[in-house]
Amino acid sequence: MHDVYIRNMEIADYDLVIDLWKSTEGIGLSEADSKENIRFFLERNHGFSLVALKGNKLVGAVLAGHDGRRGYLHHLAVRREHRKEGLGRRLADGCLEKLKLAGIDKCHIFVFRENSVGKEFWSKIGWLIRGDLHIMSKHI
Ligand SMILES: CC(C)(COP(=O)(O)OP(=O)(O)OC[C@H]1O[C@@H](n2cnc3c(N)ncnc32)[C@H](O)[C@@H]1OP(=O)(O)O)[C@@H](O)C(=O)NCCC(=O)NCCS
């Protein structure tokens, strides 16, 4: 049996990663997740995003990056049959370690209001829900 191991996400992982995200509830995909956009994201944020593999099977993934002042995680997903094994925590904390080493001391995530699994998970691993903020967005 293979242990799950975690390594940096590369653009070559895109097809497996997008399949995982597409089949995972609570992940909101858009044109921002095209291969070209993810390539751009990984280039601008080199070495922060992670994948979890068991043998050659992708079992988890997360995007991470920063804008110079705050960090952001996106699209954390663990394959259903590997949940509650500590992988979500390992992926999220792995990104935070990398962000911290890059001088970032606070990180934000976006969670759908109805994603109770996500909210329970993030709360359990120490994240606080911000009741004082709304997300506001605009197409440009
Ligand atoms: C959220 C998700 C990534 C968690 O992954 P996971 O590998 O199962 O999480 P972990 O095993 O690392 O769990 C870490 C802690 O959270 C708790 N937890 C995980 N899922 C939970 C749930 N559904 N309800 C309550 N607690 C939960 C675990 O019990 C664990 O706590 P413990 O250390 O006290 O035992 C996974 O459920 C998932 O992919 N969900 C769908 C996608 C999603 O919603 N992602 C978040 C987008 S913002």
Confidence (pLDDT) at 2? 76
Helices then strands, each counted (H, E), the chain:
4, 5
What pLDDT is stored for residue 75 in this prediction?
A: 98
Return the pLDDT at 19.
Answer: 98
Q: Which residues of the chain are under the pLDDT cut of 70?
A: 1
Q: Is 120 in the pocket of ligand 1 (CB under 6 A)?
A: yes
Cβ of 119 below 6 Å from ligand 1: no
Whether 125 is in the pocket of ligand 1, judged by its Cβ within 6 Å, is yes
Give the DSSP letter string of 50-87.
Answer: EEEEETTEEEEEEEEEE-SS-EEEEEEEE-GGGTTSSH
Q: How far apart are CA 96 and CA 115, in angstroms?
A: 22
Report the atom number in ligand 1 closest to the C-alpha of 78: 39
What are the phi and psi torsion angles at 19 (to 5°)? -60, -45
Supply the pLDDT for residue 50.
Answer: 98
Residue 51 CA, ligand 1 centroid: distance in Å? 16
93 lines ligand 1 (CB under 6 A): no
pLDDT (tens digit, 9 = 90+) per residue, 24-64? Answer: 999 999 999 999 999 999 999 999 999 999 999 999 999 99
Residue 115 CB–ligand 1 contact under 6 Å: yes
- Nearest residue to 75 via CA among 58, 94, 92, 90: 92
Domains contained in the chain, CATH given? 4-124 (3.40.630.30)
